[in-house]
A and B are shown apart, each in its own frame.
Chain A
Amino acid sequence: AQSVTQLGSHVSVSEGALVLLRCNYSSSVPPYLFWYVQYPNQGLQLLLKYTSAATLVKGINGFEAEFKKSETSFHLTKPSAHMSDAAEYFCAVSDAASGTYKYIFGTGTRLKVLA
């Protein structure tokens, strides 16, 4: 069965510092992977997705993620945090093994940006 683990339910960084949010997946087939962001009182918005093309994926708002098969990881990074990046971030894997491609979400990481 496919699964996603997000390490760290809360992460704090200073404004201007590197953002690193960790995601590890388990999948028996090549995965489709996604990062979503949820701002307060809003729905989820797609940041970026990996669908077996380039392993370094660039998304919106300066975020990017690198697919590393050997480490089964898909960590999200941003070189310089802004106050507006404060939100909750979710990693998800698409259930390709069953053929349904429904999402399996991680438990989320809440990012706090300190002034």
Chain B
Amino acid sequence: DADVTQTPRNRITKTGKRIMLECSQTKGHDRMYWYRQDPGLGLRLIYYSFDVKDINKGEISDGYSVSRQAQAKFSLSLESAIPNQTALYFCATSAVLNEQFFGPGTRLTVL
């Protein structure tokens, strides 16, 4: 079984809809991250969490919110989706000072 899972893998939604992307990990890591990937821009950090009570904004947090429900679960929400949020979204986990492990990604399309 995969160490980092994301659901859904693909989602098409309409402008103005609320949507939640979910991430779960079995690696026992405290640190979790949400990124978005756009062609030519690499990966940009949306939010990150170092433990259940610690949530931090990344470089592009506007229009997004997160919830850390447990050590193993970190959800990303778009309260009112807009077309320029169409992207590939990745969740990642890490232990302190170690490499990050990535999920398979969620491809989100906002019409």
Contact = CB atoms under 8 A, between A and B. Distances in A.
A102 B42 contact: no
A46 B99 contact: yes
A44 B99 CA distance: 11
B42 A107 contact: yes
Nearest to B58: A102
A102 B41 contact: no
Interface string A42-68: 111110010100000000000000000
Contacts, number: 48
A20 B50 CA distance: 35
A81 B54 CA distance: 43
Interface residues of A, number: 21
A36 B40 CA distance: 16
B101 to A, nearest CB: 8
A43 B103 contact: yes
Interface string A9-40: 10000000000000000000000101010000
Contact of A34 (B35, B42, B50, B99): B99
Among B41, B42, B50, B90, chain A packs the most CB atoms within 10 A around the CB of B42
A1 B99 CA distance: 20
B45 interface: yes
Interface in B57-110: 58, 90, 92, 96-97, 99-105
Interface of B: 4, 33, 35, 40-45, 48, 50, 56, 58, 90, 92, 96-97, 99-105
Given A43-B102, A43-B105, A103-B100, 7 more contacts: A36-B102, A43-B90, A44-B92, A90-B42, A90-B43, A100-B50, A108-B40
